[in-house]
Amino acid sequence: MNLGTRVVAEFLGTFWLVFGGCGSAVLAAAYPDLGIGFLGVALAFGLTVVTMAYAVGHISGAHFNPAITIGLWAGRRTPTRDVIPYVVFQVVGAIAAAAVLKMVAEGQPGFVLGSFAANGFGDLSPGHYNLMSCTIIETLFTFFFLLVILGVTSPGAPGGFAPLAIGLTLTLVVLVAIPVTNASVNPARSTGPAIFAGKPYIEQLWFFWAAPIAGAITAGIVARGLFRAP
Per-residue pLDDT band at 151 (split at 50, 70, 90): very high
Residue type, 194: A
pLDDT in the model for residue 229: 60
Residue type, 132: M
Nearest CA-CA partner of 134 in 192, 166, 176:
176
Q: DSSP alpha helices (H): ranges in 61-155?
A: 66-74, 80-105, 131-152
The residue extents of the domains of the chain are: 3-226
Higher-scoring residue by pLDDT: 88, 36: 88
pLDDT in the model for residue 158: 86
- What pLDDT, in 10s, does the model give residues 39-56? 999 999 999 999 999 999
Cβ atoms of 201 and 126 within 8 Å: the answer is: no
Per-residue pLDDT band at 28 (split at 50, 70, 90): confident
Per-residue pLDDT band at 59 (split at 50, 70, 90): very high
What CATH code is assigned to 3-226? 1.20.1080.10
pLDDT in the model for residue 34: 64
27-49 per-residue burial string, b: 16 or more CB within 10 A, e: under 16: bebeeeeeebebeebbbbbbbbb
Residue type, 15: F
How close are the terminal C-alpha atoms of the chain, in Å?
A: 27
Helix axes 187-197, 3-23, angle to 10 degrees: 60
| Phi-psi region at 160: left, alpha or beta (left = phi > 0; alpha = psi -120 to 50) | left
- What pLDDT, in 10s, does the model give residues 175-196? 999 999 999 999 999 999 999 9
Distant-in-sequence, close-in-space partners of 172: CB < 8 Å, separation ≥ 6: 42
* Residue 1 confidence (pLDDT) above 90: no
pLDDT in the model for residue 33: 63
Tell me whether residue 123 is exposed, middle or buried, using C-beta atoms within 10 angstroms of its C-beta: 0 to 12, 13 to 18, 19 or more.
exposed
pLDDT in the model for residue 94: 98
Nearest CA-CA partner of 19 in 83, 103, 114, 125:
103
pLDDT in the model for residue 178: 97
* Residue 27 confidence (pLDDT) above 60: yes
pLDDT in the model for residue 213: 98
Nearest CA-CA partner of 98 in 25, 185, 30, 166:
25
Cβ atoms of 171 and 46 within 8 Å: the answer is: yes
3-state secondary structure of 153: coil
pLDDT in the model for residue 215: 98
Cβ atoms of 79 and 63 within 8 Å: the answer is: no
State the average pLDDT for the chain: 95
- Average pLDDT rounded to a whole number, residues 157-166: 92
pLDDT in the model for residue 186: 98
Cβ atoms of 45 and 169 within 8 Å: the answer is: no
- What pLDDT, in 10s, does the model give residues 192-203? 999 999 999 999
pLDDT in the model for residue 35: 67
